[in-house]
Amino acid sequence: METLKTNFISNAGYVLADNKELALAAISFKEMFGKAIVEEHDKKLMTHFDKLLELDLEYGTTLNRSGKGTYNEIQIGAAKLQILSQSRAMLVDAIAGYGNTLIEYKGQVKFRLNVTIALMALLVSVVGAIV
């Protein structure tokens, strides 16, 4: 159970690091047409989801343990499960935040692309009117 808790917390740290990397990524002209950063982070997001599913299988077997023992042992087990559940929630929240950051980044890329196309169209029309 301790290993599972550590895995949830460490994976949440990896997700947060990827989220920070995406948040700091600049949208260059090349990125508006190439979408390399978006594809890279889409893959990373899917990897994090896969890891969550893998850890959830182990989490499910942990929850199915019987509650046999003395009252104190049951209380200690319940407290450990509560901590484990909170560490899982940290990972789920980190993945959700990363997904939201990725959606926002995609929106910014599309917005900048649309503005760039509009400015180019305006430039072409102005040049066409002058010539």
How confident is the model over 40-49, as pLDDT tens digits?
Answer: 999 999 999 9
For residue 42, what pLDDT is reported?
95
Residue 28, classed as helix, strand or coil, is coil
pLDDT of residue 66: 59
**Which domain, by its residues, includes 29?**
2-130
pTM of model > 0.85: no
Residue whose tokens read 């509650």: 67
Mean pLDDT score, 85-105: 95
Residue 9 — very low, low, confident or very high, per pLDDT cuts 50/70/90?
A: very high
The average pLDDT across 69-96 equals: 90
Closest CA relative to residue 41, chosen from 76, 17, 5: 17
Count of structural domains within the chain: 1
